[in-house]
Amino acid sequence: MMKKNKNLGGITEKYNLAFAFFLIAVVFILILNIFSLDFFSKDDEEGVKKIYFADHISTAHLELIERFNEKYKDEIKVIPIDLPWSKFNTNQRKELIARTLRSEDIKINIYAVDQIWVGRFEKWAEPLDEYFSESEKSRILPQLKETCIINDKLVCIPMYCDIGILAYKKSVLKQIPGHEEIEKKLRQSISWEELIEFIQTSGKGANSYLFQGDAYEGLICNLYEIYASKYNLDFPQTREEILDEKFKNSIQFLKDLIYKYEISPKEVTKYAEKQSYDNFFKKKSLFVRRWFTGLRDYKIYNREPHILDDLTPCPLPHFGDGDFKTVFGGWNLMIVKSSQNKEEAVKFLKFVLEEKTQEYLYHSGYYLPVISSCYNDTNYFDYYDGFPLGKYIRNNTIHRPNYSEYTKRSDILSYYINMAIRNEYSIEEALEKACDNIFDDKLFIK
């Protein structure tokens, strides 16, 4: 049985202490920024209500906010608070928002949360049923509306949804003999067996397939897609399900991509989205598992304008005769319960749900729509450059559990599974320790 590195505990404690100070500093800076924005804001006209909106603010977000502010000129002004992906992964952003909301003086009115955070953040959220009619709620895609309801109460609305995809570089793929046949298979969902064999015979080496393997929610998404595709099972929730051979085999497969098949580098155990995307383009990598809406990042940061032309999305791989599965993701908008401008905040949420707004977000930032009417025109939203969006959303999406304890369990699982992939623990030992923390209420400290 593999033993934990003796120095790991001390290193981990120092890391967590440093990270705690980092979060406190960031919260302090965030609060100062909000008050600074308020001080320097030019809209001092009497009657203008300011709505502070915390999210990753892309260029599409900014244009959306400008459109709303123009529509409600001299009445409401939405002021963005940027939490960029370049600085925060999903776990860091979750903790930052939680710490910020605990501050009684914080002036945020609307905040964006990952679908799986809804249960955790519900206590700070204004219930929305009285603001939205049944007709308005029925326009939301049913599988998305489910993520907005806690204890039979609507506590948020979806802004956009997301799906995991496989992406490849056309320029690199075309250098490999036989690429035409592989590209046809990729478009339909290639099997893992065929993908591994192709990479191994291509001579492209261990940087060929990148995924998110750091100790955070992204690792859980990668693992769940493997587990669901291979065994057609829902996310494991009991001790027996977590310790089952099927779940262990799924973790082993991620390890095998690195150590057995040698198509992924050991560095993926430190990759969140940004690191995996950056290294995908910096190195001559062939494939990367990524979110569909992640396509927007390089366009926003004005890196290399030809990048999107070289990037091709396709369905995730499958096993044998099975079907591919992808984690259904996306971000929802909540109104702070203590907000003094709830009616104005609701107007912004309703503006987000308008069909024209949803279409704009899709075309400007590749944000997938959240209302059913957008998918009625199958020629319009069903495909992106030949990519079957409609098939993914209707038939191949899988959902993580929607309950308040999920994020805590995910944090614990991702930590120990990452340790197993890094060979700090055996898979069995890692899962046993994870279960002890989850089910025996042991103190969990990274």
Residue in 190, 315, 199 with CA at minimum distance from that of residue 257: 199
- Average pLDDT along the chain: 85
1 located within any domain: no
The region of weakest confidence among 245-249, 308-312, 333-337 is: 308-312
Chain-centroid distance of CA 264 in Å reads 21
DSSP state, residue 164: E
The region of weakest confidence among 9-13, 97-101, 115-119, 393-397 is: 9-13
Q: What is the identity of the amino acid at 70? A: E
Task: Name beta bridge partners: 77.
Answer: 50
Residue 309 has a pLDDT of 74
Residue in 96, 115, 124, 15 with CA at minimum distance from that of residue 407: 115
Residue 39 has a pLDDT of 38
Positive or negative torsion for Cα 280, 284, 288, 291: positive
445 located within any domain: no
Residue 210 has a pLDDT of 97
Q: Are residues 352 and 281 in the same domain?
A: no
User: H helices of 243-328, where?
Assistant: 245-259, 273-282, 297-300, 307-310
Residue 379 has a pLDDT of 59
Confidence at 363, pLDDT banded by 50, 70, 90: confident
Q: Are residues 214 and 100 in the same domain?
A: no
**Residue partners of 387: CB distance under 8 A and separation at least 6:** 165, 313, 314, 315
- 189 three-state secondary structure: coil
Confidence at 446, pLDDT banded by 50, 70, 90: low
Q: Which residue has the higher pLDDT, 405 or 148?
A: 148
pLDDT tens-digit series, residues 73-108: 999 999 999 988 778 777 788 888 888 888 766 788
446 located within any domain: no
Give CA–CA dist 434/416, Å, rounded. Answer: 6
Residue in 162, 167, 164 with CA at minimum distance from that of residue 369: 162
Task: Name beta bridge partners: 336.
Answer: 125
Task: Name beta bridge partners: 287.
Answer: 168, 209
Say yes or no to pLDDT of 30 above 90: no
**Residue partners of 139: CB distance under 8 A and separation at least 6:** 353, 371, 372, 373
Polymer length in residues for the chain: 446
Torsions phi, psi for 322 (to 5 deg): -75, -170
pTM for the whole structure: 0.84
Range of the domain at 283: 164-327+405-439
Say yes or no to pLDDT of 10 above 60: no
142 located within any domain: yes
pLDDT tens-digit series, residues 55-65: 989 889 999 99
Cβ neighbours around 304 below 10 Å, total: 11
Q: Are residues 136 and 195 in the same domain?
A: no
Q: Are residues 316 and 342 in the same domain?
A: no
243 located within any domain: yes
Contact 341, 51 (CB under 8 A): yes
Q: Are residues 409 and 380 in the same domain?
A: no
User: How is residue 254 written in tokens?
Assistant: 């991620």
CATH number of the domain within which 241 lies: 3.40.190.10
Q: Are residues 322 and 337 in the same domain?
A: no
Give CA–CA dist 39/29, Å, rounded. Answer: 15
The region of weakest confidence among 251-265, 380-394, 416-430 is: 380-394
Q: Are residues 344 and 282 in the same domain?
A: no
Q: Which residue has the higher pLDDT, 169 or 427?
A: 427
Task: Name beta bridge partners: 149.
Answer: 154
Q: Are strands 157-169 and 153-154 parallel, antiparallel or unpaired?
A: unpaired
Contact 114, 410 (CB under 8 A): no
For residue 262, the number of C-alpha atoms closer than 13 Å in the C-beta half-sphere is: 6
Residue 38 has a pLDDT of 47
pLDDT tens-digit series, residues 243-262: 999 999 999 999 999 999 99
Q: End of a domain among 376, 396, 416?
A: 396
Q: What is the mean pLDDT of residues 396-411?
A: 89
Contact 190, 182 (CB under 8 A): yes
Residue 213 has a pLDDT of 97
pLDDT tens-digit series, residues 191-242: 999 999 999 998 888 889 999 999 999 999 999 999 999 999 999 999 999 9
Q: Which residue has the higher pLDDT, 18 or 320?
A: 320
Q: Which residue has the higher pLDDT, 114 or 389?
A: 114
User: How is residue 369 written in tokens?
Assistant: 């729509």
Q: Are residues 196 and 321 in the same domain?
A: yes
2 located within any domain: no
pLDDT tens-digit series, residues 285-298: 899 999 988 666 55
Say yes or no to pLDDT of 300 above 80: no
Helices H, strands E: what count in the chain?
21, 13
- 329 three-state secondary structure: strand
Contact 140, 370 (CB under 8 A): yes
Q: How many domains does the chain have?
A: 2
Residue 226 has a pLDDT of 98
Q: Are strands 287-291 and 149-150 parallel, antiparallel or unpaired?
A: unpaired
CA distances from 327 to 229, 361, 397 (A): 11, 21, 6
Q: Are residues 114 and 70 in the same domain?
A: yes
Q: Are residues 169 and 283 in the same domain?
A: yes
Q: Are residues 201 and 274 in the same domain?
A: yes
Say yes or no to pLDDT of 176 above 50: yes
Torsions phi, psi for 168 (to 5 deg): -135, 160
- 299 three-state secondary structure: helix
Q: Are residues 336 and 318 in the same domain?
A: no
